Structure 1
Amino acid sequence: MEDDLNIRQARRSDLREVYLIEVNSFPYPYPIEVFLTFLILFPQYFLVAECSNSVVGYIMGSVDSDGSGHIISLAVRPSYRGRGIGKRLLLALEEIMKENGIHRVKLEVSVNNRAALALYKSLGYRIVGLERNYYPDGSDAYVMTKELSN
């Protein structure tokens, strides 16, 4: 884990770095406009990990119509992976969601993303469903949930 790692709310000025991490992390990245939309609608659920004044990871969440939290995207710059940054981002967002009265959080993850699946399972997320053809290439995603206790 990075000693000088700082997790904070994302700012508009972070979006270029966030988008570059997204593009380098996923085969089907969200358009940059999606990040701006979530920053406007759910600023408290959009966090970045900063190391030496550079954004090295982010997590973006929202609240669904049923009041549950939703992790939209989580990624860490490739050269910073394996250092616990994704875990710290996820735990930080879960804490903010709990403080805002959210009791359950869900996410979708590629059935082929072993690293992400291992992280989520280690933090108490359970597979509760399968979304077939979730990604543009026709691959599937697991739906995972976690109960947030106070």
Structure 2
Amino acid sequence: MISIKHIKEKDIDLCYELDSNTISLWSKNQWAKEFKKDGVNVFGILLSNLVVGICVFHVVLDEAQINFFVVNHKYRKKGFGTYLMSYLIEECEKLNLKKLILEVSHSNFSADKFYNSFDFNTVGIRRDYYKDGSDALLKEKKLRTK
């Protein structure tokens, strides 16, 4: 059974472990700081009771920025990311937000293709943004407002 749950700060270890085993984006300290920011929401997608993906997004005024989005390697290309992104978009539209933004490495072709499938458009580039020297594509999705 697939479900989405709000992840609380007490689950930092779970977040850090999934991050470490996938994209290694944040240290445990960075995870702790993220949970303390106003407007930050963390959701997980679960298969039974196993968290297979996590999304962190930060609401600022009338937009949200996806700061972290990952699905465990074993569960990719099985619809979990699509389910989680669809849920996120729906939640943002319920909040009457105007757009959703994110950054993705220009060399991460599968992630870029995934985001494009949800009508994210590249609106800018940050040169040499990531540790490996790759550029970040700035992507934006306009949301339906009520």
Alignment correspondent of 1:104: 99
Unaligned residue ranges in structure 1 (runs of 5+): none
Q: What's the CA shift for 1:112? A: 0.9
Alignment correspondent of 2:15: 18
Instruction: Provide the rounded CA distance (Å) in 1 between the counterparts of 2:19 and 2:54.
Output: 9
Cα pair distance change 1:38/1:104, threshold 3 Å: same
Alignment correspondent of 2:69: 74
State how many pairs are aligned.
145
Cα pair distance change 1:43/1:57, threshold 3 Å: farther
Deviations 1:105-144, CA, capped at 9 Å, x for gaps: 1100011111111111011100111110110121111000
Q: Which has the higher strand share?
A: 2
Alignment correspondent of 2:54: 58
Instruction: Provide the rounded CA distance (Å) in 1 between the counterparts of 2:118 and 2:43.
Output: 18
Q: What's the CA shift for 1:42? A: 5.1
The alignment's TM-score, normalised by the length of structure 2, stands at 0.89
Matches within 5 A, 1:110-125: 110-125=105-120
More off after superposition, 133-142 vs 39-48: 39-48
Runs of 4+ in 1 over 6 A off after TM superposition: none
Residue identity (%): 27
Cα pair distance change 1:134/1:100, threshold 3 Å: same
Instruction: Provide the rounded CA distance (Å) in 1 between the counterparts of 2:75 and 2:38.
Output: 26
Alignment correspondent of 1:94: 89
The alignment's TM-score, normalised by the length of structure 1, stands at 0.87
Instruction: Provide the rounded CA distance (Å) in 1 between the counterparts of 2:11 and 2:49.
Output: 11
Instruction: Provide the rounded CA distance (Å) in 2 between the counterparts of 1:149 and 1:137.
Output: 36
Q: What's the CA shift for 1:87? A: 1.5
Cα pair distance change 1:53/1:148, threshold 3 Å: same
Alignment correspondent of 1:35: 31
Q: Superposition RMSD on alpha carbons, in Å?
A: 1.8
